[in-house]
Each structure stands twice: as structure tokens, then as C-alpha cells.
Amino acid sequence: MFNTIDDLDSEQRLLMRVDLNAPVDDGDVQDNRRFARHAETVAELTENDHAVALMAHQGRPGRDTFVTLEQHADILADHLDHPVEYVPSTYGEEALDATEDLESGDVLMLENVRMTDEELADLTPEEHGETEFVQTLAPEFDAYVNDGYSVAHRAHTSIVGFPQVMDSYAGSVMEDEYEYNTSIERREFDGKVTMALGGTKAEDVIAAMENLDEKVDQFLLGGIVGHLFLRAKGYEIGIDTPDGPGLYDESWEENEETIREVIETYGDRISLPVDVAREGEDGERVTERVENADHPDEYMDVGEATIDEYRPHIEESEAVLVKGALGVFEMEQFSYGTRGVLEAIAETDCYAVVGGGDTSRAVEMYDIGAEHFDHLSIAGGAYLRALTGAPLPAVEALEAAAER
């Protein structure tokens, strides 16, 4: 087991990893439930007179969501009702100057850790611990805290490197999410178990499908993942065009073989959209049957007939697990699929868990009522991993640090 922040000595200088990875719309970072949840942990620490320097990431290099953390500091400050100083450096001179000035109760946001050379390097945890990033920052602090459960499935420097060389503790979000999500894996269900899978991260979803075959009776697919499965079935969907958003071909190349294997192995247990929706010339929602679809990279939601097929599966299930949105629910006219699934769950008394930093937000946005769900996880990929029983590198690193 790992140590938690309840085990900390008083007035410590803490280096803390959080996950504030959020959607970015035209350069504007969108608030999500991760900010509110981590703000609770930070507040608990500052109220106990600790000083906190935060490490977090945003996006992936090369994507348009890969931006600095300046806006994240402001959004977090609003949640905390307490200043959060942003420094445009992760472990350079400016960062070190700002850390030296940290006093009890202060909160500092270091720059996006994925802007360093080391964070995403292919290294063992021990090698991550020897990087300049770790060796420079670690001596400035008394202890390391990891609260970023939703990024616990990545073996990156800020996650597995620091616990190699520092006293390390889990924050409250890490502890709660870890305990809840791990407990789902151990749960036995007598009745049907259905899983609705969508969103953009095809590889995480497909890996989970391969490992959850004994636990899940029916998979309901939507989002980008659904489109890639439709492409595998020969429909004109999930294929990039020269001027389109470029969401598909790279994922397709990486996952085609596995998608075909998954279809081959679990064919009837996978429900695919029968209709999809896109934006028409006047901005209106246009729904097309998949066999008539001819706008390969423009579909932003599943259609009404799809939800009519998915709803009975939910109604007859003892448990429904959701990961990823079935459409671009942030736009009301493409929220039909995501809302349809969440509302169907809310109307039944099944055991229900919704995962995904973005997807769990839809419950709040459309007033579906958090009370209808047993757990709303702010994690996506990490939650899926936990359901399959796979270890999480962040948790392993915290446990190893506790044993030292």
C-alpha cells in the first residue's frame, strides 16, 4: 500500500503531480471536473500550512491542445479562491527562483511537464529518476505527492521518476479513485454487464475491450472509436479527407489489426452505430444511415436509431460502465448519443459508473443528476485499466516508495 497525505509531517514543501488535462477550444482551456477535484486536495494541503508546487501536463506535443498551463493556473485559482502563481518554466532558472520563494500556504504552477525533453522519454522508472528534471527539482522539496489518478497509467518522469528519490504520498483524489475503480474489478455481477465506449482515444478503448471479454456481455460503441469499427466493416466513415480534422488515419494504422481481431472474436457482442449525424450546410443536424454515409470525417454523433438500439441493452443490464462520449456532446446538437446513454442509465436502477474527464462532465452539463450514478470518475484510460485489473505505473511507484 502507499502512504497518503494524512501521513505527512507539518509545514512541508511539496512537489505535487495533478492531472488538469482538459479540452481546448480555439486556444481556450475548458474547465472540467479535474480542476474542482484537485482543488479540494490542494486546499486541504494549504490549510495545513504546506507549500505546494504543481506539475501537470496539457495535450500531447504536435496537437493543438498542447498549450502552456497559464490558463490552468487561473482556472484552478478560481476553484480555490486563492492565488496560483504560474511560472513559464518546469525546472529552469525561473522555476527554481519561484520555488525558492515559496512560503507556507503558497501554490505555484510549473510549466507543462510535456514541454521538457525527459517527460515522455522511453526510460525505465529508475532511469526517469536519474533525469535532470528529477535531479534538479527533487532537492528543492521535502516530499512528492501524486494526486493525478487519471494519468496514473502513464510511466512518465513526473509520475514514476520523482518517487524513485523522494518521500512520496498519494493525494485524496488518487486515493479515492484508486480504491473505487479497483473495487469494480473485484465485483461480481449476476446479470448482464454492458459497456458504452466512445471518445477519441481508440487505443485505450480497444485494449480494454480485449481484456474485458469475460466481464462484459455487450459493448455499445460510439465516438471516434465507433467510426473506426464502422470503417473496418467497410462503411465510408472514419477516414480522413485532405481538409478534414485529421482524426482517423493515424489511429486506423495503429489499431486496424486489433480492431479486426476484436470484431472477429466478439462479433455479436459489439453493437455499432446504425446511423450517424453531421452538420448540414446551414449548420443543422443531419442524420444518415451508415450505409448511406458519404462524409467520411464529418460525423459528430450517433443518430436516433442507434440510441433506440442501445437503450434496451441498458434497460436489461445489471451494470453499465461508460467510458468516452458517443459524440461531441459539448455542442448541444451533437449531444444526443451521449445524453441518450446517460439518460437511459439514469432511468434504470443498474449499477452505473461513468469514466472520462470529459465524459463525466456531460452528466453535469445536461443536468442528468450525479445521484443516478454510483461513481463518476475523472479518469478515462486509468479507469479502463483498473477495470481490467492491469497495474498502474503511478500506483506501483508510490507503493515502491512506501516500502523503501
Ligand X SMILES: Nc1ncnc2c1ncn2[C@@H]1O[C@H](COP(=O)(O)OP(=O)(O)O)[C@@H](O)[C@H]1O
Ligand Y SMILES: O=C(OP(=O)(O)O)[C@H](O)COP(=O)(O)O
Binding site for ligand X (CB under 6 A): 23, 198-201, 223-224, 299-300, 324-325, 327-328, 330, 356-359, 380
- 223 interacts with ligand Y by CB under 6 A: no
Nearest in space to 392 (alpha carbons), one of 157, 95, 163, 149: 149
Smallest gap, in angstroms, from Cβ of residue 156 to ligand Y? 8
C-alpha dihedral, 62 to 68 to 69 to 70, nearest 10°: -150
- 231 interacts with ligand Y by CB under 6 A: no
Q: Minimal CB distance to ligand X: which residue? A: 356
- 163 interacts with ligand Y by CB under 6 A: no
Could you tell me which stretch among 84-92, 334-342, 364-372, 374-382 binds ligand Y (CB under 6 A)?
374-382
Residue 228 marked as a ligand binder: no
Binding partner of residue 359 among ligand X, ligand Y, none, CB cut-off 5 to 8 Å per kind: ligand X
Cell numbers placing 37: 477535484
Instruction: Output 52 or 344, the one with its CB closest to ligand X.
Output: 344
Residue selected from 171, 222, 380, 393 as contacting ligand Y according to rule CB under 6 A: 380
Cβ partners under 8 Å of residue 397, min gap 6? 125, 146, 159, 160, 163, 164, 168
Residue 154 marked as a ligand binder: yes
Q: Give the separation between CA 356 and CA 34, rounded to whole angstroms.
A: 10
Q: Give the separation between CA 66 and CA 81, rounded to whole angstroms.
A: 26
- 160 interacts with ligand Y by CB under 6 A: no
Residue 250: half-sphere exposure toward Cβ, Cα within 13 Å: 6
Cβ partners under 8 Å of residue 47, min gap 6? none
Task: Tell me, by CB under 6 A, how many residues bind ligand Y.
Answer: 13
Binding partner of residue 129 among ligand Y, ligand X, none, CB cut-off 5 to 8 Å per kind: none
Residue 227 marked as a ligand binder: no
Residue 358 marked as a ligand binder: yes
- Rg, C-alpha atoms of the chain: 21
- 21 interacts with ligand Y by CB under 6 A: yes
**CA dist 182 → 178, 311, 377, 384, 390 (Å):** 6, 27, 12, 10, 10
Instruction: Output 98 or 202, the one with its CB closest to ligand Y.
Output: 202
Q: Minimal CB distance to ligand Y: which residue? A: 380
- 37 interacts with ligand Y by CB under 6 A: no
Binding partner of residue 21 among ligand Y, ligand X, none, CB cut-off 5 to 8 Å per kind: ligand Y
Residue selected from 15, 19, 102, 360 as contacting ligand Y according to rule CB under 6 A: 19
Binding mask 244-283 for ligand Y (x = CB under 6 A): ----------------------------------------
Cβ partners under 8 Å of residue 139, min gap 6? none
The DSSP-derived string for 134-156 is HHHHGGG-SEEEE--GGGTT---
Instruction: Output 128 or 323, the one with its CB closest to ligand X.
Output: 323
Binding mask 315-334 for ligand Y (x = CB under 6 A): --------------------
Binding partner of residue 299 among ligand X, ligand Y, none, CB cut-off 5 to 8 Å per kind: ligand X
Cβ atoms of 200 and 325 within 8 Å: the answer is no
Q: Give the separation between CA 6 and CA 363, rounded to whole angstroms.
A: 31
Smallest gap, in angstroms, from Cβ of residue 356 to ligand Y? 6
Nearest in space to 221 (alpha carbons), one of 199, 238, 249, 239: 199
The three-state secondary structure class of 247 is: coil
Binding partner of residue 90 among ligand Y, ligand X, none, CB cut-off 5 to 8 Å per kind: none
The three-state secondary structure class of 36 is: helix
Smallest gap, in angstroms, from Cβ of residue 217 to ligand X? 22
Binding partner of residue 150 among ligand X, ligand Y, none, CB cut-off 5 to 8 Å per kind: ligand Y
Q: Which amino acid would we find at residue 223?
A: G
Cβ partners under 8 Å of residue 312, min gap 6? none
Residue selected from 5, 67, 107, 151 as contacting ligand Y according to rule CB under 6 A: 151
- 154 interacts with ligand Y by CB under 6 A: yes
Residue 81 marked as a ligand binder: no
Cβ partners under 8 Å of residue 336, min gap 6? 277, 285, 301, 302, 303, 304, 307, 327
Annotated binding site: 19-21, 34, 57-60, 114, 154, 330, 356-359
Per CB under 6 A, residues contacting ligand Y are 19, 21, 60, 150-151, 154, 201, 204, 356-357, 379-381
